[in-house]
Amino acid sequence: MKGYVVLETGEQFEGELFGAEKEKDVHAEIVFFTGMTGYQEVLSDPSFKGQMVVFTYPLIGNYGINDSDFESLKPQVEALIISELNGAGHHYEANQPLAGCLQHAQVPYITGVDTRAIVKRIRKNGDMRAVLTTHPESVDFSATTPLGEQEVVSSVSVQAAETFGHGERHVVLLDFGYKKSIVSELVDQGNRVTVVPYSISFEEVVSLKPDGILLSNGPGNPKQLETRLPVIRKLAETYPTLGICLGHQLLALAFGGDTEKLNFGHRGANQPVIDQETNKVYMTSQNHSYVVKETSLTDTSLHARFFNINDGSIEGLEHKRLPVLSVQFHPEAHPGPSDSAQLFNLFKEMMSQGRESLYV
């Protein structure tokens, strides 16, 4: 049926709408993703909870959907906005087309839209609220709350602990909306990984006897999780800790730093990042709206180690004394280049050096 993308600015874009009820609008924050591939990982990444995603690449769905590339148990995006959708998709691992996957998961999507024009509006005005609708004349934005004012992590975090792998080192992963690929990378390196709810207490983590802590990626504004900061800081002061994406932002807040929202975020598989300690440049996969403010670190025990080459924003932190490291990008990639996967080796070294003194 004919549908419309209505932006918070009032602009409308017409296309063919699927999977949405005719009398029920789809409200979400509209963002864009610049990768040429990786749509299956995007639609199942919990960090996209509360967002509808515009793909800048014009042809989506050309290699279908398989069983192994999902980053969570189900699609997480609120909707997809696509210029041209390949109705079949051809790949030796594919077992269904993208359209079939979206229909089965009841994820609305709109095709035949001028995605280039929408992206230009977002680049000019920033990430904003948007609505998928069949009746654009009656859209009311006053009835919705901006994503930055919502607490969405509780809707994507696990409800009970789950353990993966059988390695000697034990990583406890606090789940703010983790990607499966992070756990897979840790397990492949010989770790046992226990994924726990984001709301876990310090005492419960201690009872698991971890060798290291990983704070995962996830959706939304990190300041909506301020009540968790004392636990996060105490854990980081006790165990070797790695933060990824939202986990990176939470570590910064926990140690006294501050965060702010980017105009239109970094979402794609081609973001260049420099490690100022080694002068090495990584091409990285990213998906985030918020960044750490460099000026806020002045009186903290953290210093910025990684920077985005395009806009100079902070891409990673290191503690001045403790084995604490955080990155804004995704070293596990999926989708994207695996340049920075070696950072998991650094986390492994941090854990190995800290193990002997943890339980004395």
The three-state DSSP-derived secondary structure of 293-354 is: CHHHHCCCCEEEEEEECCCCCEEEEEECCCCEEEECCECCCCCCCCHHHHHHHHHHHHHHHH
- For residue 325, say whether it is annotated as part of any ligand binding site: no
- For residue 220, say whether it is annotated as part of any ligand binding site: yes
- For residue 12, say whether it is annotated as part of any ligand binding site: no
User: Which of 185, 315, 318, 332 is the catalytic position?
Assistant: 332
User: Peptide bond preceding 219: is omega within 30 degrees of 0, i.e. cis?
Assistant: no
Per the annotation, the verdict on 332 as an active-site residue is yes
* 8 A C-beta contact, residue 250 and residue 225: yes
Beta bridge partners of 53: 31, 80
User: Which of 245, 248, 266, 318 is the catalytic position?
Assistant: 245
- For residue 249, say whether it is annotated as part of any ligand binding site: yes
User: Which of 266, 288, 319, 330 is the catalytic position?
Assistant: 330
- For residue 87, say whether it is annotated as part of any ligand binding site: no
Measured in degrees and rounded to the nearest 5, phi and psi for residue 36 equal -80, -25
> Strand pairing of 191-197 and 162-164?
antiparallel
Measured in degrees and rounded to the nearest 5, phi and psi for residue 283 equal -90, 125
- For residue 44, say whether it is annotated as part of any ligand binding site: no
- For residue 47, say whether it is annotated as part of any ligand binding site: yes
Burial 103-128 (b: 16+ CB within 10 A, else e): eeeebbbbbbbebeebbebbeeeebb
Binding residues: 47, 218, 220, 246, 249, 287, 290
Binding residues for L-glutamine: 47, 218, 220, 246, 249, 287, 290
Catalytic residues, by residue number, are 245, 330, 332
